Amino acid sequence: MSSRQAPTLQFLGAAGTVTGSRYLLTSPSGRVLIDCGMYQGYKKWRELNWQPFPVPAASIDALVLTHAHLDHSGYIPALVAQGFTGPVYCSQATFELCEILLLDAAHLQEEEAAYRNRRGYTRHAPALPLFTVEQAHKALTLFKPLAVETEHDLDMARVSLYPNGHILGSCSVDVEVEGRHITFTGDLGRSNDLQMPAPLPPRYCDYLVTESTYGDRLHSQVDVEGIIANIVSITAARGGSVLIPSFAVGRAQLLIHILSKLKRAGRIPEMAIYLDSPMAIRATRTMRAHQDLSRFTAERVQQTTEDVEMVETADESEALASIQMPIIIISASGMATGGRVLHHLKRMLPQHRDCVLFAGYQAGGTRGAKLVAGDGVVKIHGREVSVKAQIESMDFLSAHADYEGLLDWMRQLPVAPKGCFITHGEPEAAGNLQRELREQLGWRAEVPELGESFEL
């Protein structure tokens, strides 16, 4: 067998959808999995979380993570539970955020399983968590943070991480195996993001695996601060409060920064701002510790710290319900699929005065997507809740490049790659990016199906 036998790249997730990123590179030197995400959104996708991993977990030698979001990292404890014992390589900040996210996900799943068992809402008796807190702790012992912008000669591949502007610690990943360079964009950030510096340009690669979350959309040039100021001011004027369901990592930190700025500038009324998510609070502390990786100055971070109250305990969270004056609550989860935000939604959705302001992309099938689409009734904790509150959506607050952003980043490649694969998008988004790549760059790109393999 030649040592230059072609590697194969297999798409084990994020094919036909935006979640469950898992890409397997197999070569004579070993097996490397890039990202190990959980599926979220529609049930048909979430059910895939419960299938055994398509290759034996013990046959994977190493894992490389682009960033901490659960749709890229959330299956790691389940993989470890199935026998994976290799290293998990990522940036230092990604490791710190994974400590927060994976433990929180494990807690939520244990709680959910216990709740289902108590209420008897389960077709499987007993309901089980996808992974436990103990399994998440075990997975975290395998993490090996790597310095960014440096080539690392690892046993089975040469790996480099380049910050890509999506969230704290996020990187695009270059893997070199058997003389082939394969670049994974990860979730590519925007060049004009308010929080993260622009993505570093791509390096030479033979093959490119690109995300396509916004593969069929262009972000409009919007005055984000003006829109938020307007919505908050109008709601407060009618005596209502604003609830912002937010992703705990990245988005929540951007929102508290914007709200603090608006308050100091007198562009919103004097009202209390609460960050009500234990996970978002921990992520905010991690972000402060790595302030140099963001666009925020130390002074700005200090001001935000002074202006936003952290709601640490469940009792403090419940006490927010008794405040009579207009307030702003930022709570997770961002798509209203779980977490403390659900209790606030149950209380606020039936109130005409209040406003629920969604702060990002809502995956199809989630409660957030239903509310943004205008559903008049949603189910929360098994109960029907009527929707009278004003519902607003800021899907322009994206931490993903749109298709022109993706193309502009790719144009910086010194030469066109031999092959390009489009993943991490709904079929229309992936299909449009495929067309744009052909028309604008003259590239032929594949949109792989789930499980499909390619020889490189």
Contacts of 73 (CB under 8 A, 6+ apart): 35, 36, 37, 38, 65, 67, 94, 98, 101, 102
Stretch that binds Zn ion, among 69-77, 92-100, 123-131, 381-389 (CB under 5 A): 69-77
The separation between CA 433 and the C-alpha centre of its own chain, rounded to angstroms, equals 20
- Residues forming beta bridges with residue 42, ordered by sequence position: none
Task: Tell the smallest beta-carbon distance from residue 197 to Zn ion (Å).
Answer: 16
Asked if 175 and 146 touch (Cβ cutoff 8 Å), the reply is no
Q: Which is nearer to Zn ion, 159 or 171 (CB)?
A: 171
Stretch that binds Zn ion, among 121-129, 156-164, 184-192, 411-419 (CB under 5 A): 184-192
Q: Per-residue string for binding with Zn ion, 13-52, x by CB under 5 A?
A: ----------------------------------------
Q: What is the DSSP string of 171-239?
A: EEEEEEETTEEEEE--S---TT-SSSPPPPPPPP-SEEEE--TTTT-------HHHHHHHHHHHHHHTT
Pairwise CA distance, residues 344 & 357, whole Å = 12
Q: What is the DSSP string of 385-445?
A: EE--SEEEE-TT--SS--HHHHHHHHHTSSS--SEEEE-SS-HHHHHHHHHHIIIII---E
Q: Which is nearer to Zn ion, 171 or 175 (CB)?
A: 171
Task: Tell the smallest beta-carbon distance from residue 395 to Zn ion (Å).
Answer: 15
Task: Tell the smallest beta-carbon distance from residue 67 to Zn ion (Å).
Answer: 6
Q: Which is nearer to Zn ion, 27 or 170 (CB)?
A: 170
Q: Which is nearer to Zn ion, 333 or 390 (CB)?
A: 333
Task: Tell the smallest beta-carbon distance from residue 399 to Zn ion (Å).
Answer: 7
Contacts of 152 (CB under 8 A, 6+ apart): 89, 146, 158, 159, 160
Pairwise CA distance, residues 368 & 351, whole Å = 17
Task: Tell the smallest beta-carbon distance from residue 94 to Zn ion (Å).
Answer: 11
Stretch that binds Zn ion, among 68-76, 201-209, 239-247, 320-328 (CB under 5 A): 68-76
Task: Tell the smallest beta-carbon distance from residue 350 to Zn ion (Å).
Answer: 32
The closest alpha carbon to 274, from 231, 241, 230, belongs to: 241
Q: Which is nearer to Zn ion, 26 or 337 (CB)?
A: 337
Which residue of the chain is nearest Zn ion when measured via CB?
A: 69
Give the one residue of 22, 31, 69, 282 binding Zn ion; rule: CB under 5 A.
69
Q: Which is nearer to Zn ion, 69 or 261 (CB)?
A: 69
Q: Which is nearer to Zn ion, 247 or 403 (CB)?
A: 247
Q: Which is nearer to Zn ion, 40 or 135 (CB)?
A: 40
Interface with Zn ion (CB under 5 A), residue total 2
Residue 241's CB: how many other CB atoms inside 10 A?
27
Scan for tokens 């919103």, then name that residue.
268
- Hey, what are 333's tokens? 């989860």
What residues numbered 272-301 form the site for Zn ion, per CB under 5 A?
Answer: none
Give the one residue of 104, 187, 211, 354 binding Zn ion; rule: CB under 5 A.
187
Task: Tell the smallest beta-carbon distance from residue 174 to Zn ion (Å).
Answer: 18
Rounded to 5°, the CA angle 272-301-185 comes to: 110
Task: Tell the smallest beta-carbon distance from residue 91 to Zn ion (Å).
Answer: 14
Binding site residues, Zn ion, CB under 5 A: 69, 187
